[in-house]
Amino acid sequence: MKTISKMILGIMITGVFFLGACSRTKDAIGTDTIENMVSVGNWKSVITAAGVDLVPAGGRAEFSKQDHLIHYYDVSGDQIRTDQFAFSNGTKRMTWNNVAYEIKENFVASSKTLTLLDPTSKKMVVAFYRERQ
């Protein structure tokens, strides 16, 4: 009976360890991985809390790992603005225009949306979308 109890306790402890490790890994997948995910492809809408889309219809936004800038282009391909960005290593935080924000999404699960939240109020500040909103 003692052996069965010890085995069950061991299995439970191992299960808790693995579940904890999995959630930690999903939230802290590393700066390089996050930068690669956002740098691939175009973002069709960048909507602020005020409801303003920083990307004009037919335009796009691109994250550049080389200069850590988000480049915004209009429909004809002309650059219309840039914003600075940086990811905090091992955390779900991104600095956008020199202000640190929390990232709402879990990048392992989805990379179609990037939502930045005010760390104090937890309200949306800006959301990046792969599809036009």
Per-residue pLDDT at 130: 87
Q: Kindly list the domain boundaries of the chain, sorted by start residue.
A: 29-129
Structure tokens at 49: 């809390």
Residue 24 scores a pLDDT above 80: no
Would you state the CATH architecture of domain 29-129? Beta Barrel (2.40)
Q: Which one has a higher pLDDT value, 69 or 24?
A: 69
- How far, in Å, CA of 77 to CA of 57, rounded? 12
% of the chain with per-residue pLDDT over 70: 79
Residue range 80-106: mean pLDDT, rounded: 89
82 CB contacts (<8 Å, ≥6 apart)? 69, 70, 71, 72
28-47 CB burial, b ≥16 within 10 A, e <16? ebebeebbebbeeeebbbbb
Per-residue pLDDT at 80: 97
pTM: 0.72
